[in-house]
Amino acid sequence: MTTTVDATRMLDRDRGLDLLRQMTLIRRFEEKCVELYSSGTIRGFVHLYIGEEAIAAGAMRALTTEDAIVSTYREHGHALARGIPARAVMAEMFGKVEGCSGGRGGSMHLFDLDTRFYGGNAIVAGGLPLALGLALADSMKGRKAVTACFFGDGAVAEGEFHEALNLAALWGLPVLFLCENNLYAMGTALDRAQAQTDLALRASSYEMPAWSVDGMDVLAVEDATRAAAEAVRAGGGPHFLELRTYRFRAHSLYDPDRYRQKDEIRQWVQRDPLSALKERMQAEDRLTDDDVAAIEQDVTAEVADAVEYAKAGHEEPVTSLTRWVYSDDGARP
Amino acid sequence: MTTTVDATRMLDRDRGLDLLRQMTLIRRFEEKCVELYSSGTIRGFVHLYIGEEAIAAGAMRALTTEDAIVSTYREHGHALARGIPARAVMAEMFGKVEGCSGGRGGSMHLFDLDTRFYGGNAIVAGGLPLALGLALADSMKGRKAVTACFFGDGAVAEGEFHEALNLAALWGLPVLFLCENNLYAMGTALDRAQAQTDLALRASSYEMPAWSVDGMDVLAVEDATRAAAEAVRAGGGPHFLELRTYRFRAHSLYDPDRYRQKDEIRQWVQRDPLSALKERMQAEDRLTDDDVAAIEQDVTAEVADAVEYAKAGHEEPVTSLTRWVYSDDGARP
Amino acid sequence: MKTTYREAIRAALADALEHDERVFLVGEDVGRYGGCFAVSLGLLEQFGPERIRDAPLSESAFVGAGIGAAMAGMRPIVEIMTVNFSLLALDQIMNNAASLLHMSGGQCAVPLVLRIPTGGGRQVAAQHSHSLEGWFAHIPGLRVVTPATLEDARGMLATALDDPDPVLIFEHASLYPMTGELADDAGAVDLDNAVIRRGGTDISLITYGGTLPMTLEAADKLQDAGVDAEVVDLRTLRPLDEKTVLESVARTHRAVIVDEGWRSGSISAEISARITESVFYELDAPVARVCSAEVPMPYARQLEQAALPSVERIVAAAREVVGTHG
Amino acid sequence: MKTTYREAIRAALADALEHDERVFLVGEDVGRYGGCFAVSLGLLEQFGPERIRDAPLSESAFVGAGIGAAMAGMRPIVEIMTVNFSLLALDQIMNNAASLLHMSGGQCAVPLVLRIPTGGGRQVAAQHSHSLEGWFAHIPGLRVVTPATLEDARGMLATALDDPDPVLIFEHASLYPMTGELADDAGAVDLDNAVIRRGGTDISLITYGGTLPMTLEAADKLQDAGVDAEVVDLRTLRPLDEKTVLESVARTHRAVIVDEGWRSGSISAEISARITESVFYELDAPVARVCSAEVPMPYARQLEQAALPSVERIVAAAREVVGTHG
Ligand SMILES: Cc1ncc(C[n+]2csc(CCOP(=O)(O)OP(=O)(O)O)c2C)c(N)n1
Ligand SMILES: Cc1ncc(C[n+]2csc(CCOP(=O)(O)OP(=O)(O)O)c2C)c(N)n1
Ligand SMILES: [Mg+2]
Ligand SMILES: [Mg+2]
């Protein structure tokens, strides 16, 4: 079943502006990253979230500060929407000490325990077992927290996906599985990777409530996430959401993107979640051109400030190379 | 759906005698193994098949010599029913050069490429990926062979199970998955290991035909296996059978079996597949006491002969310890 | 008090579960079954299914779950039934447990304890006889310990649980029935130092875990042959207590390393390399190694025995090194 | 002919696919995408989806399928996208590929070729920068090779496919763009011998794979400093060509091993141990090692560079060993 937007909530202008600002921040932040990557300031692998912003913006708005997040290497959007300062994320991309992972993680490993953001994980499906453990710890400690675990459609083929969904359901763990189905795992289309292409059906085979959501509709994502998270929080055990989306850019800034039809991309770009929300708000007279201009200005300034902050940041001296291999040198929490 | 026995075939006395003899051979062979284990002649891990004989006997009778077999560490029954001489199997248990694996494998690693028996595998679910490859090779070579892959209910929780079923279905490989559901994985009952306890339903979530069979009814097993194997052979892609059974003995000769109710065991023992077949044949006047006596005598002689053969076998000299680590020394096929 | 290696570990587990509510045990058949080596027998009845958790056959998922629970402040003890199955969880161990602290710039400590029975010698053949503890010691971010005595079986767990980082405790299956005297007040032991189990002046026999008993036996045999051997128990394979090893070799000027791992690329090679690097000019003879033959373990008894280190092979190697073929 | 390491491997793949119908390539994104390092670009169009098989993210399943296909007489080439993901298939590699021949008493040979890009240096951080080829070389039953030149990139695959046993070919990702001249008739090369890439009399620099280029550069720098260094390229890490290494060290009496793996328990330790065991009395100085720092690879450029072997570190280590600090 696909959730439908509850129209009464649509009337909330602040909510719309908030979501629009969030998605715009992610979009502009990543556009800046592309620039900085071309100029060689940002290195390594960079996986853009452009086109998928509605999921991070909508889902995070439905979660509380008590909840825990487990993410992937395509996590700039998750990190920003969770509230990690753009400064700390950008500084991490620069590899500076001021980065949210001290410059040791880079784009694929953004961490922030203050917001219970347990990191980008660069092993496909590698984060799912971690999510079970976080949820188990919270439930053993009697916390009412939900662990939200993001992963892509490609992860569904991994053995760890199966082991994790079975164990979560078997133990009734408070995990919310958020599958970002953008139809491709690098160059491999969903139907060339999965015998069962209905991912919600796949998840429900573990006796876990699962449904699909239009991942290009930020309001639908927020509503579905809230409903599922509440069910999990209420003791309903793990839930699964398939968020149908599409990445507008290549898999990573390395990828020439030879495997997708230009037409397919064009069609999805027409469903750009930012434009979609704008149009909807405008249609309901909830958004003025000034609002949009203000958001753009505001967000551009935030990104520029983040870049300045990152530039001004410090490089860790090589003398402390082996720091954090063990906690002895101060990491013990 | 559960398959029903086609009564007309029941009239075939030879079939009944053949199956009864096969099951009796496995039963007596393993009873002898217990003796030899207690006396220290057989060492290592020994996992008894007693109670599950109907599966090996029924399934193997439905397969052809072209077909390939992948098995587990509980494979004495599979090996004997496939036609590996009791002598070679017993010699392997003794660790003799004359054993079907040259004494290097032991109880858990019976191999015989003449019958395309690709071995007992002691890593739970470790054999499933091998089965895909055997099937892929056969299909690429244009052979009409089926790869029959045995594994237990416990294997269903492993990531490799998921990866293998998905890949087999995705690539339409000629694999017949034979899941011996004896309700326990060592001390862990099915419902304490699987969120989805209907294993045929689990398998069908991969878009593969799957059904459950009474694994205590040798005729039902043979018929279901034949139907499934024919479908696979005809190009129907992978099929899955859940064979419902029970092990009458402990997990291994190490296991004190503290975790099962004596009552449960008693109830299942009343469904002993050997007695069940005998009663059915007797009820239809297809079996005389002399037949039973003849089979027992014949089988006892075969087992005794196997033991003599194994005793007379040779111990590999330690000078050839590192033989077969690489093929240089002659293994190249 | 008279006890066994198995009971000592069980007592350590019970202690930890009793005194720290953050501690729980998870693994295959650790509860209802009592542990495949009966180590956790009775703990389920004592502490209940919440804290003695039977897991399905899903090594990667429950090891990863242990890592996640550790990150969130629990003190999980995860048992992998045997090292032979640890390969299925190796991605979680190397890419998560060992890396998270560093990847997160010091935020994500992983106070996880993994208990892993290891070793060969029981005729369970190629897939069930691995000795990979030295191999795991290659991974930065992990601490790898190998209790070889009742004291260490009793005391290493508590210290491991106090460690903010992941600790892998490898229990050699052949040691479980080992019986002996243990002080009633035996408790936590350090995980930092190798220990000299037997003093000697002629040669240093360096070993750990399952091969300690046979190495001590070899030392006695050597004594009869007039060779006074010192026996060093590494105890911790990562980080190595280089100091104790080097000082011993600097005293005896000769060394034989005994290691059940396959020879090439084993921890014995690392120790040999470090000895050469640090006390080369103290050596009176090349460092020798007694390891397992480089073969997937065969089932046949005589072949398996020939593949494993033995008192005879240790004695022969030591005599070769001291040059006393008397 | 002018070519690159990447193109040389592609040519070797095309050759094999053309001349042996038992050969096929399977892995993640080897087809439609062209391989994540563009090694197999164009092969799908040339050989079709039956023989250039894109696999889902299921490392254990498709590596195991390769093993099974090899047992049944095919000659599969399985690509694991990078070594970082090979841990997910390690059970299949150690417990099946490396063990089946022996476990079956010589019946089940596994003529499988695994191609595995490896190595760090591209700022892709802790989970994507492993150099585990030396670690894999610990496993009996496997052959582990590390092409470091255009000739070996072009020629090792054919020989690996002819081998009746599993061969792991580790391609260091930093070598793919390496450009140079390759004979038009370049073909199969042996996998048995280490090769001296540069003759020298003062010291032996022993290395393999990704660190060969910097080691040769270091040798030139050392020449300027009056040190005549010999450079040995191991080429095959298992089984090791001990003879070539030992003969070189016996001539130069000094050795530095350069290895991108983490230092403790790396293949460099094994080589050091073997040198001590065999030519101890020929050594004029302790054997030294230049390895990667024992740290999960950090993202920050200066930290990663400090963690990896470098020309400077090799030169410094060599000068230390020859004692010429001039
Ligand atoms: C275990 C593993 N195998 C392969 C890779 C290489 N890889 C990185 S991302 C990716 C595709 C993942 O696709 P999906 O899960 O759909 O996420 P998306 O990139 O589409 O967001 C692959 C194959 C990896 N990181 N981990
Ligand atoms: C990967 C792995 N984990 C654990 C084990 C130890 N083990 C051996 S058999 C077994 C139970 C398997 O149960 P099931 O698959 O139902 O087969 P059954 O023994 O009931 O025939 C376990 C846990 C193993 N061999 N492999
Ligand atoms: Mg995707
Ligand atoms: Mg079972």
The tens digit of pLDDT for each residue in A40-56 reads 999 999 999 999 999 99
Please give the Cα distance from A277 to A106 (Å, whole number): 31
Helical packing angle, B273-283 and B13-38, nearest 10°? 150
Look at residue B2 and tell me whether its pLDDT is greater than 50.
Answer: no
- DSSP 3-state of C258: strand
Evaluate whether D212 touches D233 at the Cβ level (below 8 Å). yes
Give the pLDDT of residue B3.
47
Q: What are A213-236's pLDDT values in tens digits?
A: 999 999 999 999 999 999 999 999
- CA dihedral sign of residues C79, C85, C88, C92: positive
Tell which phi-psi region holds residue D166, choosing left (phi > 0), alpha (psi between -120 and 50) or beta. beta
Give the pLDDT of residue A330.
42
* Of residues C159 and A10, more confidently modeled: C159
Helical packing angle, C150-162 and C5-19, nearest 10°? 30
Residue D88: which residues within 8 A CB-CB, separation 6 or more?
A158, A159, C91, D59, D60
Please give the Cα distance from C108 to B210 (Å, whole number): 44
Nearest CA to ligand 1 atom 21: A152
As a whole number, mean pLDDT of residues A10-24 equals 91
Give the pLDDT of residue A1.
40
Q: What are A168-188's pLDDT values in tens digits?
A: 999 999 999 999 999 999 999
DSSP secondary structure letters along D99-126: THHHHTTT------EEEEEE---SS--G
Residue showing tokens 């509440």: A230
Evaluate whether D143 touches D238 at the Cβ level (below 8 Å). yes
Q: Assess B163–A contact: CB distance below 8 Å, yes or no.
A: yes
Catalytic residue among C7, C28, C59, C270: C59
Closest chain B C-alpha to D59 CA, distance in angstroms: 8
Evaluate whether C261 touches C294 at the Cβ level (below 8 Å). no
Average pLDDT, chain B: 95
Residues 300-319 of D with CB under 8 A from A: 300-303, 305-307
Residue showing tokens 């080589």: D271
Give the pLDDT of residue A328.
77
b/e burial code for range C30-65 (CB count within 10 A of at least 16 → b): bbbbbbbbbbbbebbeebeeebbbbbbbbbbbbbbb
Residue showing tokens 């196997």: B306
Q: Count the Cβ atoms, other than its own, within 10 Å of residue C312.
A: 12
- DSSP 3-state of C167: strand
Q: Which of A66-80, B108-122, B250-264 has the lowest mean pLDDT?
A: B250-264
Identify the residue among C57, C104, C114 best suited for mutation to test binding to A, counting A beta carbons within 10 A and taking the highest. C104
Identify the residue among C264, C299, C310 best suited for mutation to test binding to B, counting B beta carbons within 10 A and taking the highest. C299
Which ligand is closest to the CA of D29, given by its number? 1
Q: What are C141-161's pLDDT values in tens digits?
A: 999 999 999 999 999 999 999
D128 flagged as catalytic: yes
Give the pLDDT of residue A6.
55
Q: Spell out where B52-189 has E strands.
A: 68-72, 117-121, 147-152, 175-181, 184-185, 188-189
Ligand 3 mean position, distance from CA A206 (Å): 21
Q: Using pLDDT thresholds of 50, 70 and 90, give the confidence band for residue B329.
A: low
Give the pLDDT of residue D211.
98
Tell which phi-psi region holds residue B190, choosing left (phi > 0), alpha (psi between -120 and 50) or beta. alpha
Give the pLDDT of residue A254.
84
- CA dihedral sign of residues A75, A81, A85, A86: positive
Please give the Cα distance from D156 to D154 (Å, whole number): 6
Which pTM value belongs to this model?
0.97
Look at residue A331 and tell me whether its pLDDT is greater than 90.
Answer: no
* Of residues A253 and D33, more confidently modeled: D33
Look at residue D157 and tell me whether its pLDDT is greater than 50.
Answer: yes
Eight-class DSSP state of B109: -
Q: Is A304 in the pocket of ligand 1 (CB under 6 A)?
A: no
Q: Assess C47–A contact: CB distance below 8 Å, yes or no.
A: no
Give the pLDDT of residue A7.
53
- DSSP 3-state of B144: coil
Q: What are D6-47's pLDDT values in tens digits?
A: 999 999 999 999 999 999 999 999 999 999 999 999 999 999
Percent of chain D with pLDDT over 70: 99
Eight-class DSSP state of B147: E
Residue D21: which residues within 8 A CB-CB, separation 6 or more?
none
Q: Using pLDDT thresholds of 50, 70 and 90, give the confidence band for residue A4.
A: low
Which ligand is closest to the CA of C85, given by its number? 2
CB contact under 8 A, B322 and C294: yes
CB contact under 8 A, B104 and C298: yes
Q: Using pLDDT thresholds of 50, 70 and 90, give the confidence band for residue B328.
A: confident
D325 flagged as catalytic: no
Instruction: Report in angstroms the alpha-carbon separations of C296 from A93, C130, D94, D103.
Output: 46, 8, 9, 8
* pLDDT < 70 positions in chain C: 324-326
Closest chain B C-alpha to D51 CA, distance in angstroms: 9
As a whole number, mean pLDDT of residues B217-225 equals 98
Tell which phi-psi region holds residue A70, choosing left (phi > 0), alpha (psi between -120 and 50) or beta. beta
Atom of ligand 2 nearest to the CA of B185: 13
Nearest CA to ligand 2 atom 19: B185
ipTM associated with this complex: 0.97
Q: Is A130 in the pocket of ligand 1 (CB under 6 A)?
A: no
Q: Which residue of C has its CA nearest to B250?
A: C33
Q: What residue type is assigned to position A317 of the chain?
A: P
b/e burial code for range B151-180 (CB count within 10 A of at least 16 → b): bbbbbbbbbbbbbbbbbbbbbbbbbbbbbb
Ligand 4 mean position, distance from CA A170 (Å): 18
- DSSP 3-state of C10: helix
As a whole number, mean pLDDT of residues B201-213 equals 98
Give the pLDDT of residue D326.
41
Closest chain B C-alpha to D97 CA, distance in angstroms: 10
Please give the Cα distance from D283 to D254 (Å, whole number): 6
From chain B, pick out residues whose CB is under 8 angstroms from the CB of C127.
Answer: 108-109, 121-123, 126
CB contact under 8 A, B159 and A157: no
CB contact under 8 A, A207 and B193: no
CB contact under 8 A, A332 and C164: yes
As a whole number, mean pLDDT of residues D251-265 equals 98
Please give the Cα distance from B219 to B223 (Å, whole number): 6
Cα angle at D192 between D170 and B333, to 5 degrees?
90
Give the pLDDT of residue A213.
98
Torsion of CA C217, C220, C225, C231, to 10 degrees: 90
Nearest to C293 among B193, B258, B321 (CB): B321
Q: What are A123-165's pLDDT values in tens digits?
A: 999 999 999 999 999 999 999 999 999 999 999 999 999 999 9
Give the pLDDT of residue B7.
53
Cα angle at D44 between D42 and D46, to 5 degrees?
70
Q: How many CA atoms lie within 13 A of C171 on its CB side?
A: 31
As a whole number, mean pLDDT of residues D77-106 equals 98
Give the pLDDT of residue A111.
98
Q: What are B265-277's pLDDT values in tens digits?
A: 999 999 999 999 9
Nearest to B160 among A159, A195, A205 (CB): A159
Give the pLDDT of residue B332.
34
Q: What are A22-39's pLDDT values in tens digits?
A: 999 999 999 999 999 999
Give the pLDDT of residue B254.
84
From chain C, pick out residues whose CB is under 8 angstroms from the CB of A105.
Answer: 103-105
Average pLDDT, chain A: 95
Q: What are D205-226's pLDDT values in tens digits?
A: 999 999 999 999 999 999 999 9
Evaluate whether D227 touches D254 at the Cβ level (below 8 Å). no
